[in-house]
């Protein structure tokens, strides 16, 4: 069985990458990786579904055991991707979706060059600003800091494979699915398998005539 592909979605805070990823994984061929974090759960977030919520000590222990595929500290909180769950899903042939910050995405690309990196862009910085203020969980100053770092983050797009602009959610999800579909339809790495399927059939055909 062919191993699954690893799709990494990232982008500036507030761009809506989480919403896109949750829509994507409604497709049964895709699995969402659940991250580990030391941050406090937000209203409505569920353990093991939104995140695995852990203490700093638990997080540090997992890092030391090489149990994370990538990890990063963002605004004072640690985030990481549990390695085993991702590897198990890939081995079972599922394509895996990671929704992680830029630092983490580039770490993944270094250790997994075959990972496909998708950058989610806002239609404009102004829209991003409005979305962040609408969330209401951050102070004015935090928001300003985020926005000025958003542009810094967007400059990292150079190392990504694809971009999706999240203006209209349905269109952004369709674009993301187009990317996933196209990656599955690449000949590279599959040509021997494709050719041998028809060769086998041809052998049977001439035998049974």
Distance from C-alpha of 45 to C-alpha of 53, rounded to nearest angstrom: 10
Distance from C-alpha of 180 to C-alpha of 166, rounded to nearest angstrom: 16
Interaction between residue 182 and a copy of itself (CB under 8 A)? yes
Binding mask 115-144 for a copy of itself (x = CB under 8 A): ----x-x--xxx------------------
Contact (Cβ atoms closer than 8 angstroms) between residue 157 and residue 15? no
Distance from C-alpha of 72 to C-alpha of 79, rounded to nearest angstrom: 5
CB atoms within 10 A of CB 16: 19
Interaction between residue 198 and a copy of itself (CB under 8 A)? yes
Interaction between residue 69 and a copy of itself (CB under 8 A)? no
Interaction between residue 205 and a copy of itself (CB under 8 A)? yes
Interaction between residue 163 and a copy of itself (CB under 8 A)? yes
CB atoms within 10 A of CB 44: 6
Binding site for a copy of itself (CB under 8 A): 119, 121, 124-126, 151, 154-155, 157-158, 160-164, 174-175, 177-179, 181-183, 185-188, 190-191, 194-195, 198-199, 201-202, 205
């Amino acid at each position: 069985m062919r191993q699954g592909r690893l799709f990494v979605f990232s982008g500036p805070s507030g761009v809506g990458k989480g919403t896109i990823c949750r829509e994507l994984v409604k497709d049964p061929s895709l699995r969402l990786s659940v991250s580990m974090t030391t941050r406090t759960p937000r209203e409505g977030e569920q353990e093991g579904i939104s995140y695995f919520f852990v203490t700093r000590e638990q997080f540090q222990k997992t890092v030391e055991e090489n149990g994370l595929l990538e990890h990063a500290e963002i605004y004072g909180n640690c985030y990481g991707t549990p390695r085993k769950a991702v590897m198990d899903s890939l081995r079972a042939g599922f394509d895996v979706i990671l929704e992680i910050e830029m630092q983490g995405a580039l770490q993944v690309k270094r250790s997994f060059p075959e990972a496909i990196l998708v950058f989610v862009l806002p239609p404009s910085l102004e829209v991003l600003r409005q979305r962040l203020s609408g969330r209401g969980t951050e102070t004015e100053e935090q928001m300003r800091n985020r926005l000025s770092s958003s542009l810094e983050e967007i400059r990292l797009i150079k190392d990504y494979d694809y971009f999706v602009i999240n203006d209209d959610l349905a269109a952004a999800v369709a674009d993301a699915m187009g990317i996933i579909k196209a990656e599955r339809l690449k000949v590279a790495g599959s040509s021997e398998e494709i050719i041998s399927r028809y060769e086998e059939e041809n052998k049977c055909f001439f035998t049974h005539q």
